[in-house]
Chain A
């Protein structure tokens, strides 16, 4: 299972990187979104995907899944949501102000 998940993570990283290397600002943000999905999945996978009960003690199960990476991912999701949201509004404002989302055009003067 972990092997399969690692392959999926690899593909997510590949697609994300490819999008980040494109010209369109929106696609770059989408790329970062895909990469953060990949990271979250990777975190979960690396903790081991041994099936057990969800980490709710009321289940009274013999075996629970690891709660620590879940806590870490929860934090990461919220932070990446905040950052993505901010990026997105930044891109939106840049688009409105400068009239382009082409990264090749969004560069300083040579003499600056």
Chain B
């Protein structure tokens, strides 16, 4: 096994040992043991940087199910490495933070770290797999781990609700994605992303291409909380804060972004891809930032903020896909900016959102509440936390000198360039993108300010807080300090990562734009002159400040929005009515009455066999080969029919039993007429015994109220039985005329005496040629006899009654 695969699987291996460490090394917080692994993985992945920045990639394959083309292929290129570093880097910080956040005594740390490691391994598997099926396996594992982590405090009802909701939505998307992957396989015959990319030219006109794209996008949108599937993310905030910071801001929600970026070389250049990715992205951006302003819970603000920022990245990836149309020249640089902005903002968002979640966790931990109506005036009590919050929120709002400013400027450049595209009907709709982006930025500014100033400035309200607030322990502050420093460092030296990470990542997303031996050249400036973007940013700050200061005057507009149109309402009622409808359907057809079920079965028989007979034109009527009708047979048939028909009309059970007996005896007579002496003997005996048994038992039965009654006539029953009778008759008619080949009985007649030494051919068949049937038939009779015996003798229920007395 190559080191790379081992690195992906190592979190799972460590997870096996976590419960033992937790149980036997109680004095040390389990998190310390876990912390080592992401650090090691991070340093391991860092050493790939030189290779990847040269534009090369690393690939290792281990055969898993080679007959199905499913191999565990680890593949490291710019995009995979970027995500790998994010996962392990932020993973280390989150583990460190959780050591101080979760109490050693009160919390079930063993399950926490098992789930977290499971998630980390799964996420690494998603971003470092080249095989679509392996990617899907890891993808579902992230959903599962996220489900377990959200419901970590499973005794709380809201946690369980949030976990179920996220599970339903992400697994729904996961299945859609799975179907999309299979469609890709049908088109290309391979699960390897590398190989699929080489076949892009031939599959882009395939009829399954668009369905595959839609299904895969459904998976990406549900995972990355895009509108309208974003509703699970705010409810996932019931998870412990380290989980929210790790899964629901930095890593798992970016799995959808990763998927879109990873498959861009396949789908980019299609108008559908451009519009879906960019359109859903911009709507999510706007809706997320608009909804974030009305939240009163700090984590809910951050959840909607995450939704909105994910929409921003998604939108940029969509806009950037237009670059593929132009090939590499001076003009393309305009459109590749969008991809650059996406990658850059991806990194920036992971840093400042991670830091902000940790800050919110600290506030929650030290004050006992996350409600901004109860908080205020914490600035002097928690100065370090306040500083961190300022850095995080200002970066999120897009203010200089932090990294969020740079990515926001690049974002504006991207949307402005895109609005001038003369492609995909952007001439008519293009202006919507800058306008929506600008309005969304204003809202982003407002909620960022709400987040920091409502928490840390204003009136201090100690009477509303559960605890006496004070600064957090240093271990809890280190991770957000590291992230905030990164925010500042990337802000001041934005080109630090451009050569080593951003350029290779861009090359993975839009490889076709590059010619051979070419690389992207990225240079991010702080000051790029008095451009439109700068005026837009100034406008955002100006309008944002005004709106923030007058928030109490206009926040009433959120109440105008009808509750019935809220997406959560649709989700909740959708679930309830689905359950209700399913229940109704079940209750409607599962009545508990055996007669109804028999009606279904017989109706099915009539429809399938009768219908099949007519649709296949199989009904024939041919009497040329039949034997002549004799008078005996006619008389016997008449008696038999009369006796049978009399059974339903019989007034008493005795009559019915005797009538059935007559039918049986007539059958024996038929056997005589049709030259079957053994059958006639057996039938006579069996019928006699049966009738005797019937009569004997009913003689001993207690008299009940409706002992003597005819069967009431029911039209449906009659129609169905008429149908069954007719179908059987028609099948018999059709079979008579269609003898395909001569029977094999000639052999039995010839060989009976010579081979088996018997002259009674039927008996020879029963005990010699086909003796096996007879043996098992004897077994059936034995079992029936034993069953009858135990039914009569065994009285378990009554014995219990006696014991209870």
Contacts and interface: CB of A to CB of B under 8 A. Distances in A.
Contact of A104 (B593, B753, B762): B593
B690 A33 contact: yes
Contact of A56 (B648, B677, B690, B724): B677
B516 interface: no
A64 to B, nearest CB: 6
A93 B626 contact: no
B641 interface: yes
A66 B745 contact: yes
Contacts of A99: 702, 704
Interface residues of B, number: 95
Task: List the 4 closest pairs (A to B, CB-CB), nearest first.
Answer: A14-B725, A10-B729, A82-B784, A17-B721
B315 interface: no
Contacts of B720: 17, 21
A50 B736 CA distance: 12
Interface in B671-714: 671, 674-679, 682-683, 686, 689-690, 693-694, 697-698, 701-702, 704, 706, 711, 714
Contacts of A47: 743
A1 B628 contact: yes
Contacts of A64: 749, 761
A44 B674 contact: yes
Contacts of A46: 732, 735-736
A77 B745 contact: no
B725 A90 contact: no
Interface string A97-112: 1011111101110100
Nearest to B753: A57
Interface residues on A, range: 35 or more
28 contacts: A1-B633, A2-B627, A5-B732, A6-B729, A8-B641, A11-B641, A12-B640, A13-B721, A13-B729, A14-B725, A18-B648, A18-B721, A19-B648, A21-B602, A21-B717, A30-B657, A34-B647, A47-B743, A57-B759, A67-B745, A67-B765, A68-B748, A70-B676, A77-B686, A82-B784, A100-B704, A106-B594, A107-B594
Given A30-B657, A34-B647, A68-B743, A90 B791 contact: yes
Interface of B: 592-595, 598-599, 602, 623, 625-630, 633-634, 637, 640-641, 644-645, 647-648, 653, 656-657, 660, 663-664, 667, 670-671, 674-679, 682-683, 686, 689-690, 693-694, 697-698, 701-702, 704, 706, 711, 714, 717-718, 720-722, 724-726, 728-729, 732-733, 735-736, 739, 743-745, 748-749, 752-753, 759-762, 765-766, 770, 773-774, 777, 780-781, 783-785, 787-788, 791-792, 797
B780 A82 contact: yes
B595 A23 contact: yes
A90 B706 CA distance: 20
B679 A22 contact: no
Contacts of A100: 704
B658 to A, nearest CB: 11
Most buried by A among B593, B720, B724, B762: B762
B726 A55 contact: no
A64 B753 CA distance: 14
Contacts of B623: 2-3
Contact of B784 (A13, A30, A83): A83
Nearest to B681: A74
A7 B678 contact: no
A8 B673 CA distance: 15
Contact of B627 (A22, A50, A90): A50
Interface in A44-101: 44-58, 64-68, 70-71, 73-75, 77-79, 81-86, 88-90, 92-93, 95-97, 99-101
A42 B674 contact: no
Contacts of A74: 678-679, 682, 762, 766
Contacts of A48: 625, 627, 739, 743
Contacts of A73: 676, 679
Given A16-B721, A65-B675, 6 more contacts: A21-B598, A46-B736, A55-B675, A67-B749, A81-B781, A107-B593
Given A81-B690, A93-B791, A37 B664 contact: yes
B633 A37 contact: no
A64 B683 CA distance: 21
